[in-house]
Amino acid sequence: MKPVYVTALIALTALSATIVCGQRNGRLRKMIGARQAANQTQAAASTYEIDVNGVKRSYILHLPPNFKKDKSLPLVIAFHGGGGNAANMVNMSGFSEKADKENFIVAYPNGSGRMGNILLTFNAGGCCAYAMREKVDDVAFISKLIDALVAEYGVDKKRVYLTGFSNGAMISGYLAAKLSDKIAAAAPVSGSIFASSPKPTGKVAILLINGTADTAVPHDGGISDRAKISPNQSEPYSSVKDGAKYWAKNSGCSDTPEKTVKGNITTEKFTGCAAQADVEVISIKGGLHAWPGGKKGREAADEPSKDLNATDVIWDFFKAHHK
């Protein structure tokens, strides 16, 4: 793995200078400006590259202050949403701060796109955009990344976890299905599966977190209500209920979960699941398309719910599960 220093702000400025006048490019400049503002504090963030079948893929790696290779720490891989990048996920989720307190490693992969380090997506089958249309092999990327981090940083192979937001949530679930032998648990936030989602290759613990008022990835499924998102999906989103059934069936759980309601938070826990393959669903009443308890991904993004801190809840779920 070769370290590369990326200055997002400089890249954005250079890109903006090449944009030709016109209505479409005007919209593009506006989107770039929004990404630039969202990533201002991450402008000089460093990243690493890894070669995947001749293609350079990149990610940000965060090691806790007490890191020692011989301690065999857990690994959380956190995926950004569609149109974002790794630095955006660092800022939005707060997982690096959590890792410092709880002593685990975090990797933030970058998706793929046509415009350098902005407007990136992951290929989760039914979504999204460039990565989906180009059939980018994100499975090979993450499988190789896990192997590399195990070899170079002594990651505990029995405690590798996936999470992500929106398109990042979708790829975390997709990878949990395709790489079940390497993943102990996954916690997609504001995501979905699809009718075409692959049958999991093994049992994985799953925590789903969604807002009931999400219009980008609707809680009840279907095509996104947002005009900027719907053209970038190739099939309807499944409902959260159907996503839960998909994972509960894989874990051999009972059909009906035990439900508890506390304020705006409804938690459903399936019983009878295979060992270390629990399935839980958290629905936030009135919750929008945002990382609960975190920061907005960009200025115009939905306001995160204050009813729940997703990062805290996800880590509690992760540390209770292992291969």
What digits encode the pLDDT tens for the residues 192-206?
999 999 999 999 999
CB 59 within 8 A of CB 48: yes
Which residues have a Cβ under 8 Å from the Cβ of 151 and sit 6 or more positions away?
Answer: none
Strands (E), 9-111: 46-52, 55-62, 75-79, 105-109
Grouping H, G, I as helix, E, B as strand and the rest as coil, residue 113 is: coil
What DSSP designation does 153 have? H
- Distance (Å, whole) CA 200 – CA 246: 9
Name which of 27-41, 56-70, 260-274 the model is least confident about.
Answer: 27-41
Phi/psi at 279 (5° precision): -130, 120
Q: Nearest to residue 167, comparing CAs of 134, 123, 137? A: 123
pTM of this prediction?
A: 0.87
* Alpha carbon distance, N-terminus to C-terminus of the chain: 26
Which residues have a Cβ under 8 Å from the Cβ of 262 and sit 6 or more positions away?
Answer: none
Q: Indicate the pLDDT class of residue 17, thresholds 50, 70 and 90.
A: very low
H or E element that contains 265: strand 265-269
Torsion sign (Cα): 254, 125, 39, 104: positive
CB 173 within 8 A of CB 191: yes
pLDDT tens profile 235-269:
999 999 999 999 999 999 999 999 999 999 999 99
Grouping H, G, I as helix, E, B as strand and the rest as coil, residue 53 is: coil
pLDDT tens profile 35-49:
444 443 333 337 899
pLDDT of residue 70: 87
pLDDT tens profile 151-160:
999 999 999 9
Question: Does the pLDDT of residue 20 top 70, yes or no?
Answer: no
Name which of 15-19, 152-156, 164-168 the model is least confident about.
Answer: 15-19
Q: Which residues of 199-217 are buried (b: 16+ CB within 10 A; e: fewer)?
A: ebeebbbbbbbbbbebebb
Which residues have a Cβ under 8 Å from the Cβ of 228 and sit 6 or more positions away?
Answer: none
When the pLDDT of each residue in the chain is averaged and rounded to a whole number, the result is 89
Which of the pair, 8 or 201, is modelled with greater confidence? 201
pLDDT of residue 13: 37
Pairing of strands 55-62, 46-52: antiparallel
pLDDT of residue 42: 39
Question: Does the pLDDT of residue 23 top 50, yes or no?
Answer: no
The percentage of the chain sitting over the pLDDT mark of 90, rounded to a whole number, equals 81
Task: Please report the DSSP string for 279-321 in residue order.
Answer: EEEEEETT--SS-TTS--SSTTSPPPPSS--HHHHHHHHHHT-
Architecture of domain 47-319: 3-Layer(aba) Sandwich (3.40)
pLDDT of residue 25: 47
pLDDT tens profile 111-149:
999 998 899 999 999 999 999 999 999 999 999 999 999
User: Hey, which residues does 230 pair with through a beta bridge?
Assistant: none
Question: Does the pLDDT of residue 29 top 80, yes or no?
Answer: no
Q: Indicate the pLDDT class of residue 298, thresholds 50, 70 and 90.
A: confident
The percentage of the chain sitting over the pLDDT mark of 70, rounded to a whole number, equals 86
Name which of 9-18, 127-136, 177-186 the model is least confident about.
Answer: 9-18
